[in-house]
Amino acid sequence: MIGAVPKALEVALIDVGGTLWPNSWPFRMTDRAGRHERVAAAMPLLEAAVIDSLVADLVESSRVGDEARAISTETTRTIPAAEILIAASLERQGLDADAAAVNRIRRAMALPVADRMKPLPGAIELLVEIRALGLKSIIASNTYWRDAESYWEDFRLLGMAGHVDAIVTSVDAGHLKPHPAVFEMAMRVAGCPAERCVVIGNREENDVEPALALGMRTILVYPDDPQPASSRAHAVVPDLWECARALKAMLHDG
């Protein structure tokens, strides 16, 4: 054959909550103390009493994710974006809400997760297989406090960072999926058009639908969810080993 045949797929855009990690992890009574410590380290000029009331206010106003027994990784926008919430909270304490302080506090509020849950079975094997198939892995995730930098730290501690090429979160992209911003930013990072991307995720509405609208391939996975009644995805698989097989078949069949 003369001339290179372009590969059908170059990049896998991979969701996290319910895809590589569980949908939720346990709330701990020590979380507030942990956040106090992290916010204090991020804002060394503030007195302990001010940190106390700031963290209490942040936890209270972001209650949807923090006072429940389990912390959901599937963020939905029922409360303002973290930056807006933090800025309002700083102002309520009579503090300056400059962008640098807001970002430092947002990262401090993203508690590390590596000690409280494990990747879903087959997660690392899937990432290894994606690379073996010649594709890049880009994390494309809805988050509340976490940006790419926070996630890199989580992934390093979970032994997954070496298998990931890039990370894009809704905090970095400015919109939660199903808004296309996360996938569009991932395409820019990859330098790759939509038709060379496959989205792997556990939510029809957040992962499959926006990916199909952009012209991407899709694999719906449900390692931590009930079997979906229906899906428009190109493949629907119960676990991450089946996902690797479906991806391989997709590459072979073009």
Binding residues for Mg ion (CB under 5 A): 15, 17-18, 202
Using the minimum distance from each CB to Mg ion, give the nearer residue, 137 or 202.
202
Taking the complex as a whole, the smallest distance from the CB of residue 20 to Mg ion amounts, in Å, to 9
Helix, strand or coil for residue 78?
A: coil
Strands (E), the chain: 11-14, 24-26, 70-72, 136-141, 166-169, 197-201, 217-221, 235-237
Using the minimum distance from each CB to Mg ion, give the nearer residue, 87 or 209.
209
Taking the complex as a whole, the smallest distance from the CB of residue 201 to Mg ion amounts, in Å, to 6
- Nearest residue to Mg ion by CB is 18
Nearest by Cα to 241 from 217, 216, 221: 221
Using the minimum distance from each CB to Mg ion, give the nearer residue, 55 or 119.
119
Distances (CA, A) of 186 to 16, 99, 172, 197: 14, 24, 10, 10
Using the minimum distance from each CB to Mg ion, give the nearer residue, 15 or 154.
15
Taking the complex as a whole, the smallest distance from the CB of residue 92 to Mg ion amounts, in Å, to 32
Using the minimum distance from each CB to Mg ion, give the nearer residue, 15 or 204.
15
Contact of 136 with 167, CB cutoff 8 Å: no
Taking the complex as a whole, the smallest distance from the CB of residue 176 to Mg ion amounts, in Å, to 11
The stretches of 133-180 forming alpha helices (DSSP H) are 148-157, 170-173
Taking the complex as a whole, the smallest distance from the CB of residue 156 to Mg ion amounts, in Å, to 21
* Exposed/middle/buried for residue 156 (C-beta within 10 Å: 0-12, 13-18, 19+): middle
DSSP state, residue 16:
-
CA distance 104 to 88: 15
Using the minimum distance from each CB to Mg ion, give the nearer residue, 70 or 84.
70
Taking the complex as a whole, the smallest distance from the CB of residue 17 to Mg ion amounts, in Å, to 4
Which uninterrupted H or E stretch holds 209?
helix 209-214
